[in-house]
Amino acid sequence: MSMRRGVGLAAFDNHERTAQQYSDLGSTILQTHISELTDQLLTFQAALKRFAQSHADEIRSDPVFRSEFVKMCSAIGVDPLASSSANKKGSFWAELLGSDVNDFFFELAVRIIEICRRTRDENGGLMLVDDVKARINSVKGRPPVSQEDIVRAVNTLAPLGHGFGIVRLAHKDFIRSVPQELSRDQAVAIEATQALGYISVEILRDNLGWETARCIAVLDDLVASGLVWVDEQVRPKEYWTPSWIR
């Protein structure tokens, strides 16, 4: 009799009860997991905080150490910079790092802007990251910065939308500090300057297979944008990139 009861209406109750029990058990386990994870995360945060605090000086002054620290952060899925501007109160990371790392990159960004602004007439707003680095590191009494630091600092400026960005041409990183985009032809021509320092109508025509008119047009464009300097004391005229001033 009692066996048969299992298939009656009451069976639904039983079933539900069992399901409820499983569910309770499941949530208990989940709770335990969450609290364990929270504990682990807190421990981890504390460890990272201790690490960042005790090594703040090295993070600021040693480019290799800084690079490793930033790599470590991105490996665990956090960007110490990206989260900094997210909320007004100062992000978890800004608090964690005592704003030292953020300040480092923002101060660097300001110095980069200053250099680009000062040299804009000379180079039309396109400058090799290496040149910027050399200028920054020529100032004595400051810890040296790396190419990577500069690229990272420039990327922090992207949300400002003032046309600052990294452009990669001929396997070299350039900082573009004018809003104007390079046309495809301009980019190719600038890349070509990286081989000899200069280009000419003939060089573009012979190496890229462009029509003469197309070569002349792109060179005139580059001159008008201030991206190249003309040397008229040679035939054919040569168009030099100011990044070649050494």
* Interaction site with another protein (CB under 8 A): 119-122, 124, 198, 223-226, 229-234, 238, 240, 242, 244-246
Phi, psi of 67 (to 5 degrees): -60, -40
Rounded to 5°, the CA angle 85-102-39 comes to: 80
Least gap, CB of 124 to another protein (angstroms): 7
- Please say which residue, 52 or 113, places its beta carbon nearer to another protein: 113
CB 245 to another protein: min, Å: 5
Complex with another protein: residue 76 or 234, whichever CB lies closer: 234
Query: Which residue number, 210 or 229, has a Cβ lying nearer to another protein?
Result: 229
> In angstroms, what is the C-alpha Rg of the chain?
30
Q: How far is the CB of 204 from another protein (least distance, A)?
A: 17
Closer to another protein at the Cβ: 72 or 245? 245
Helices (H), 124-211: 129-137, 147-156, 184-196, 201-208
Shortest approach of another protein to residue 143 CB, angstroms? 26
Query: Residue 138 CB, nearest distance to another protein (Å)?
Result: 13
Continuous segment of H or E residues that includes residue 65 = helix 63-75
Reduced to 3 states, what is the DSSP secondary structure of residue 165?
Answer: strand
For another protein, give the closer residue by CB, 57 or 220.
220
Closest distance of CB 135 from another protein, Å: 13
Give the span between the Cα atoms of 236 and 232, in whole angstroms: 8
Which one, 37 or 230, has the nearer CB to another protein? 230
Per the DSSP assignment, residues forming a β-bridge with 138 are none
The candidate with the shortest Cα–Cα distance to 137, out of 171, 108, 168, is: 108
> Residues near 181 by Cβ (< 8 Å), separated by ≥ 6?
none
Burial class (CB in 10 A: 0-12, 13-18, 19+), 31: exposed
